[in-house]
């Protein structure tokens, strides 16, 4: 009875009280021929992910394993415990923890979140969330300009950054008299760093470094950092937190490490949910913390030596600083941070690495398979994380509509964002996909391309 949490001494005491010589004596009423000591017909145990997938497949109206769209929002497996705990009243209806004596649970959770995010990014300080990745980047840029005393107000932003992030930047920064200097993309799908030589470094406050970039490609981050460090320009990393499980953390980029790290927290236990709500995060070096938007929870001890948690820094709030606040974004996406904290705690370092490695392996396998299909061409030549770009021999929009008829969300049409990428598709595969999903996708692509070509021939 290996799963009963009793010691041998406790078991012996129990048997003596029952006047039995062994555990078996407690079941003497069961006929001997009914007892079976070898269980041969029960399958081996499976993971929670596999079990959830099995139950979904038995629901005829559900079609798991059919979403291959990425582009900033990713389908990862979320352990069942995450949102079961998040749904508890203590978290679900919790308000901002202004009163520490009544909010120790929430404060501790936020403190744990900050601790895990600094470990993941290799930074010294983490805030307690913003609206989403785009607003986190915008706030990071405003933070960088303030750190420069507003003396320089130009920021380098690569075209390889997520287009939605660039739209938010274009909306907010002009109102603050901040100019954006663009860096183009090479034919290989990464930032053209040769164009940095044309920049007047003494006019630049910060440079934005996406890793991976919107096209899934791995950027040469140390080359970015070399330019920033040589010219005393602040560096802002925009990262996928799942990718950081297997990529070098921003705190180790270059010689000195990034100044500010931000990104979208959705991959950490937050479902796709038709586009939101998600949450953003910002981490930074300790010397920059006074200009960082977002609350910080600290841990201390009271006069009796008991550990306590409290809001240590909230200088960015208008109710504290009013017009001098570093930001007027007051909504803390606390519920989603709760989910992320539980998700990270349950997976742990090994689980997060496993999810990232499986995602990379699946995308690599799918990419290699797709390139064997006549007419499909590679576009980007660099290493990628869990999404990649292919060029189709047919209209991308027509292809996507046909794939939807096969109940497959096949990817993202990149011509909506880059005019030069006509008929190019961004395809993503995470750890939620299995070999059967990948085979089904490849077979569907082959069938759809053949059907489109035949229809065109008949016309």
Question: Could you state, in order of their start, the residue ranges of all structural domains in the chain?
Answer: 49-77+348-458, 80-344
d(CA 233, CA 227): 8
Cis check for the bond before 34: say yes or no (omega within 30 of 0): no
- Is CATH 3.90.1150.10 the right assignment for the domain spanning 49-77+348-458? yes
Structure tokens at 8: 């041998």
pLDDT band at 327 (very low <50, low <70, confident <90, very high): confident
Q: How many residues does the chain have?
A: 459
Q: Is the pLDDT of residue 101 over 90?
A: no
Residues 273-304: tens digit of each pLDDT: 888 889 999 999 999 998 888 788 999 998 89
d(CA 122, CA 284): 9
d(CA 76, CA 430): 6
d(CA 119, CA 251): 9
Query: In 306-376, where do the E strands start and end?
Result: 307-313
CATH class for the domain made up of 80-344: alpha beta
How many C-beta neighbours within 10 Å does residue 428 have?
27
Q: Is the pLDDT of residue 130 over 70?
A: yes
Q: What is the pTM of this model?
A: 0.89
d(CA 117, CA 289): 15
CATH topology identical between 49-77+348-458 and 80-344: no
Distance spanning both ends of the chain, measured CA to CA: 72
Residues 383-399: tens digit of each pLDDT: 999 999 999 999 999 99
With contact defined as beta carbons under 8 Å apart, do 382 and 190 qualify? yes
Residues 66-98: tens digit of each pLDDT: 999 999 999 999 999 999 999 998 888 877 787
Residues 358-386: tens digit of each pLDDT: 999 999 999 999 999 999 999 998 999 99
Residue with tokens 């415990």: 81
């Amino acid at each position: 009875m290996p799963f009963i949490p009793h010691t041998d001494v406790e078991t012996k005491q129990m048997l003596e009280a029952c006047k039995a010589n062994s555990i078996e004596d407690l079941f003497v009423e069961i006929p001997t021929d009914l007892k079976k000591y070898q269980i041969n017909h029960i399958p081996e145990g499976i993971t929670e992910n596999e079990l959830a997938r099995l139950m979904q497949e038995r629901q005829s109206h559900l079609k798991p394993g059919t979403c291959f769209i990425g582009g900033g929002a990713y389908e990862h497996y979320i352990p069942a415990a995450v949102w079961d705990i998040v749904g508890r009243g203590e978290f679900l209806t919790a308000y901002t923890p202004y009163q520490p004596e009544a909010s120790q649970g929430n404060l501790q959770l936020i403190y744990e979140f900050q601790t895990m995010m600094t470990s993941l990014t290799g930074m010294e300080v983490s805030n307690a969330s913003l609206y989403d990745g785009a607003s986190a980047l915008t706030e990071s840029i405003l933070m960088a300009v303030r750190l420069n005393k507003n003396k320089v107000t130009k920021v380098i932003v690569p075209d390889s950054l997520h287009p939605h992030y660039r739209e938010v930047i274009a909306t907010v920064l002009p109102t603050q008299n901040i100019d954006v200097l663009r860096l183009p993309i090479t034919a290989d799908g990464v930032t053209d760093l040769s164009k940095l030589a044309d920049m007047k470094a003494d006019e630049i406050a910060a440079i934005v470094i996406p890793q991976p970039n919107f096209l899934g490609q791995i950027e040469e981050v140390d080359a970015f950092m070399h330019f920033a460090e040589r010219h005393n320009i602040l560096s802002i990393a925009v990262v996928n937190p799942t990718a950081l499980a297997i990529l070098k953390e921003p705190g180790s980029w270059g010689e000195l490490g990034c100044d500010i790290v931000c990104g979208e927290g959705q991959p950490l236990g937050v479902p796709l949910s038709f586009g939101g709500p998600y949450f953003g995060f910002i981490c930074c070096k300790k010397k920059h913390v006074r200009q960082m938007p977002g609350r910080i929870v600290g841990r201390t001890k009271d006069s009796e030596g008991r550990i306590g948690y409290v809001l240590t820094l909230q200088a960015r709030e208008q109710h504290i600083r009013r017009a001098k606040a570093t930001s007027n974004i007051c909504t803390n996406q606390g519920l989603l941070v709760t989910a992320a904290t539980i998700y990270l705690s349950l997976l742990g370092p090994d689980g997060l690495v496993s999810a990232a490695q499986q995602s990379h392996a699946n995308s690599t396998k799918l990419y290699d398979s797709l390139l064997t299909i006549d007419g499909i061409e590679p576009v980007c030549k660099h290493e990628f994380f869990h999404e990649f770009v292919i060029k189709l021999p047919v209209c991308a929009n027509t292809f996507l509509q046909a794939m939807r008829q096969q109940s497959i969300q096949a990817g993202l049409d990149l011509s909506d964002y880059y005019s030069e990428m006509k008929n190019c598709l961004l395809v993503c595969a995470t750890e939620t996909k299995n070999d059967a999903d990948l085979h089904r996708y490849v077979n569907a692509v082959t069938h759809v391309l053949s059907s489109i070509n035949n229809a065109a021939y008949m016309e």
